[in-house]
Amino acid sequence: MPRLERLEAPVESLNGVGPALARKLARIGIERVGDLLWQRPRRYEEPVPAKRISELFGDEEAVIEVEVRSVSSRRRGRLKILTARVGDETGEINATWFNQPWLEPRLAPGTSIRLRGRANKFGFAVSSYDLEGEAETADFAPVYPAGEDTSQKKLRELRGQALQLVRDAGEPLPAALLARERLPLRADALASLHAPRALEDAETGRIRLAFEELMVLQVALKRTAAARERSSAEPLPAPGELIQRYRASLPFRLTSDQERAIAEIDADLVRSTPMQRLLQGEVGSGKTVVALYALLRAVETGRQGALMAPTETLAEQHFLTIDELCTPLGIRVSLLTSSLGTRERTAVRQLIASGDAPLVVGTHALIQKEVDFRDLAVAVVDEQHRFGVGQRTALVEGRSPHVLHLTATPIPRTLALTVYGDLDTSELALPPAGRKPIVTGWVTEERSSEAYRRLTRHLDEGRQAYVVCPLIEESETSVARAAEVEAERLRGAELRGYRVGCLHGRLRPADRRGVMASFKARELDVLVATTVIEVGVDVPNATIMIVQEADRFGLAQLHQLRGRVGRGAEQSYCLLVSRPREELSEGATERLEAMVTSNDGFELAERDLEIRGEGQLLGARQSGLSDLRFVRLRRDGELLERARDAARQLEDEGLLAAEADRLLGEAEHAEP
């Protein structure tokens, strides 16, 4: 196997990785060998003072050198708790580990062990340990996002193997550039990132890796921009009678941000260069109305408009919303998804090809070659938090409709400039007037009955509610089953006497549409759902949401979920129910606290960056280019400038093309 490809190979190709470990690694985002290295440590542990047991004080972090006296383990729900009675010459304490059952046989009485952690009311919560010379608490030990499930020692060993493969793969950047910029070799940079001798080493390594990412990104953006210059679009005439009727049919006045976005779109549509505009706005800020405006501009000139969504469910929900708005205007809306039967799909395709379908909603499959629009003038791409430069390239180089991209991911300005460099941007900064900020609360499981009492009070006042089921990692089928079981349980318990529907990804599309339609029509009081409701569902009468086991969700996802309420003039609530506090990881606690204290997606995105690392903000696996894994945007402004200059220079020398090709190619093949 060529050397570079070994980094792309499944992690099972490493020594000592079987299917079970591979599954665990996949859960923390490590599927390919290279993933072990492209994961940036969240932070590094600083050395802490060594103490005797009698000196432990408050919840200060400390290291203790102790001997194991006895050991026991128990289960609490999904949690496995391992407790060791340990002692030194000053006393004894109970040391606890969560979910590390493999340690038990190695903690025989008499074993010496060095523990790092914090004293609490239950004893000593261990964060890392050295077991007889197996140094796991090296000073500056890197801490990775969500590594709880696999031993750090095993990960370190696998990283060692992967590092060797990187060394064998050679250095991608020219030696002269490295010397000029005073940057280390990539293999050395990765080594010091994952096993630094001092914090400065880790930072030097990170900068080297960030530099390369930024350079490749710049080349890619330049290409997209160049492709756009080469393509042309037909200008649209000024807004006419249909647009007038559309505006008149809306039950509200457009906000000034919406008006501004519309004016910017109008200005784009009269040009012969295709529009490439990003419409950025918080969840609930009213992007759909603006998007439909752009589509109707195409329709009223007898041409076609298409809206593409990243998932089938989202496409169906957009379809329901848009169809409702278009019916009074006499405009027919068609839905094209892969779950349509063959005959139906063929029929819709024929309508698209003949031009008899003026407005089409579908998944990203719509832009594939076999769908042949007679005359597509405006395309709206709902990217939500799935974003890929590659998809944009595909659009630009194929047909050249005017394109409007929607995103709800509040992207920090610096990142937007870096990543969306080639797009014009419109922003819906202020939500429609009269909205009250959603009130968010967090309670642990033992108080969940209070949360449900609160929810039923809303139902009794004629409002509706959502209950979001826990995120479980197994198959979509088991997620769906779990949701159905939970809905059934709630019907007999907390929600007895209310009309409870259930929505998940395994329902047949017609059934899913049926459930959505009856919730909208208030024939259901509560929708028990999986994360399929994360985006798109729009029922202003729903004013309260309970998220079960909220500690399992990511911050961006929680914020998206919360956006399903607060869509009308009534005060809305989001109640997060989590497992007990002492069972939560540091990250989970930080996420839940952030949700309670902030409604501001921009601020939450920044918090998310801090908690998870920047690259993952955009959805780690979505596309090669959205993975800015090593860049720290608030810190790397100057580095970005340097990378831009270097990219320009190397491109002139024809040196960066291969790497950029590889990344762009990857982005284009990324699943929508």
Output the furthest CA–CA distance in the chain (Å, rounded).
88
Site for ligand ADP in 652-671 (CB under 6 A): none
Candidate list 277, 287, 303, 463; residue touching ligand ADP; CB under 6 A: 287
Residue 194, SS3?
Answer: helix
Token pair in block for residue 372: 């042949």
In the complex, the smallest distance separating the C-beta of residue 533 from Mg ion, rounded to whole angstroms, is 12
Do 555 and 591 meet the contact criterion of CB atoms below 8 Å apart? yes
- By CB under 6 A, the residues from 390 to 409 that bind ligand ADP are 408
List the interface residues with ligand ADP, window 446-505 (CB under 6 A).
none
83 binds, among ligand ADP, Mg ion, none (CB under 5 to 8 A by kind): none
Q: How far is the CB of 537 from ligand ADP (least distance, A)?
A: 9
Phi, psi of 574 (to 5 degrees): -130, 120
Exposed, middle or buried: residue 346 (CB in 10 Å: 0-12, 13-18, 19+)? Answer: exposed
Nearer to ligand ADP, 122 or 252 (CB): 252
CB atoms within 10 A of CB 266: 16
Residue in 34, 117, 281, 566 binding ligand ADP, rule: CB under 6 A: 281
CA gap 525, 65 in Å, rounded: 57
Give min distance, CB of 537 to Mg ion, in A. Answer: 9
Q: Is 540 in the site for ligand ADP (CB under 6 A)?
A: yes
Stretches 14-22, 169-177, 283-291, 343-351: which one binds ligand ADP (CB under 6 A)? 283-291
Closest distance to ligand ADP from the beta carbon of 309 (Å): 11
Closest to ligand ADP by CB, 277 vs 287, is 287
Note whether 147 and 156 are within 8 A (CB): no
**Pick from 41, 196, 274, 286: which binds ligand ADP (CB under 6 A)?**
286
CB of 257 to ligand ADP, least distance (A): 9
**8 Å CB contact between 362 and 347:** no
Comparison of 275 and 292: residue with beta carbon closer to ligand ADP: 292
Sign of the CA dihedral with 18 first, then 19, 21, and 26 last: positive
Question: Which of 79, 106, 229, 252 touches ligand ADP (CB under 6 A)?
Answer: 252
Instruction: Tell me how many residues contact ligand ADP (CB under 6 A).
Output: 18
Tokens of 540: 């202003």
| Residue 102: partners with Cβ closer than 8 Å, 6 or more residues away | 151
- How, if at all, do strands 112-120 and 123-131 pair? antiparallel
Query: Which residue, 255 or 426, is less far from ligand ADP as judged by CB?
Result: 255
User: Of 142, 164, 70, nearest to 111 (Cα)?
Assistant: 70
For position 289 contacting ligand ADP by CB under 6 A, the verdict is yes
> What does DSSP say about strands 359-363 and 304-309: parallel, antiparallel, or unpaired?
parallel
> Which residue ranges make up the site for Mg ion (CB under 5 A)?
288
Binders of ligand ADP among residues 258 to 277 (CB under 6 A) are 258
Q: Does 362 bind ligand ADP (CB under 6 A)?
A: no
- Residue 7 identity (one-letter amino acid): L
| Identity of the residue, 207 or 533, whose beta carbon is nearer to Mg ion in the bound complex | 533
CB of 432 to ligand ADP, least distance (A): 3
Residue, CB closest to Mg ion: 288
User: Per rule CB under 6 A, is residue 288 in the interface with ligand ADP?
Assistant: yes
Site string for ligand ADP, 549-588 (x = CB under 6 A): ------------------x---------------------
The entry of ligand ADP, Mg ion, none that residue 252 binds, CB within 5 to 8 Å by partner kind: ligand ADP
Minimum CB distance to ligand ADP smaller for 51 or for 562: 562
Decide whether 408 or 550 has the Cβ nearer to ligand ADP. Answer: 408
Tokens, residue 169: 């793969």
Tokens describing residue 588 = 């989970």
Map residue 410 onto helix, strand or coil.
coil
User: Smallest distance from the beta carbon of 436 to Mg ion, in angstroms?
Assistant: 19
**From the CB of 543, what's the least distance to Mg ion, in Å?**
18
Stretch that binds ligand ADP, among 184-192, 284-292, 395-403, 572-580 (CB under 6 A): 284-292
Q: What is the DSSP letter of 653?
A: T
Residue closer to ligand ADP by CB (options 137, 280) is: 280
**At residue 567, what are phi and psi to the nearest 5 degrees?**
-100, 0
Nearest approach, Cβ of residue 406 and ligand ADP (Å): 7
Task: Choose among ligand ADP, Mg ion, none what residue 578 binds, the Cβ cut-off being 5 to 8 Å by kind.
Answer: none
Please state, in angstroms and rounded to a whole number, the distance separating the CA atoms of residues 375 and 356: 11
Residue 409's nearest CA partner among 267, 554, 512, 592 is 554
Q: In this structure, which amino acid lies at residue 66?
A: V
Taking the least distance from each CB to ligand ADP, the nearer of 255 and 393 is 255
**Minimum CB–partner distance for residue 318 and Mg ion (Å):** 8
Q: Which does residue 567 bind out of Mg ion, ligand ADP, none, counting CB within 5 to 8 angstroms by kind?
A: ligand ADP
**Number of CB atoms found within 10 A of residue 48's CB:** 16
* Nearest distance from C-beta of residue 288 to Mg ion, angstroms: 5
Which DSSP state fits 13?
G
List 39, 137, 150, 285, residue binding ligand ADP (CB under 6 A): 285
The piece of 51-59, 67-75, 282-290, 601-609 that touches ligand ADP (CB under 6 A) is 282-290
What is the smallest separation between the CB atom of 270 and Mg ion, expressed in angstroms? 27
Min. distance of Cβ 345 from ligand ADP in angstroms?
A: 27
**Between 286 and 410, CB nearer to ligand ADP:** 286
CB of 249 to ligand ADP, least distance (A): 12
Residue of the chain from 142, 358, 432, 615 that contacts ligand ADP (CB under 6 A): 432
CA distance 397 to 232: 10
Residue 103 contacts residue 130 (beta carbons within 8 Å):
no
Determine if 538 is a binding residue for ligand ADP (CB under 6 A): yes
Q: Per-residue DSSP letters for 464-494?
A: EEEEEPPP--S-HHHHHHHHHHHHHHHHHTT
- Whether 206 and 270 have beta carbons less than 8 Å apart is answered as no
Q: Which of 53, 86, 158, 283 binds ligand ADP (CB under 6 A)?
A: 283
Shortest distance, position 125 Cβ to ligand ADP, whole Å: 40
Written as one string, the DSSP assignment of 245-260 is HHHHH-SSPPPHHHHH
* Residue 325: partners with Cβ closer than 8 Å, 6 or more residues away: 246, 249, 250, 292
Measured from the CB atom, the residue of 216 and 283 that comes closer to Mg ion is 283
Say if CB 332 and CB 364 are below 8 A apart. Answer: no
DSSP of 106-156, one letter per residue?
Answer: G--TT-EEEEEEEEETTEEEEEEEEETTB--S-TT-EE-TT-TTS-HHHHH
Interface with ligand ADP (CB under 6 A), residue from 184, 196, 284, 672: 284
Please state, in angstroms and rounded to a whole number, the distance separating the CA atoms of residues 246 and 257.
18
Question: From the CB of 275, what's the least distance to ligand ADP, in Å?
Answer: 19
Q: Where are the alpha helices (DSSP H) in 584-636?
A: 586-597, 601-612
Q: Which residues contribute to the site for ligand ADP (CB under 6 A)?
A: 252-255, 258, 281, 283-289, 408, 432, 538, 540, 567
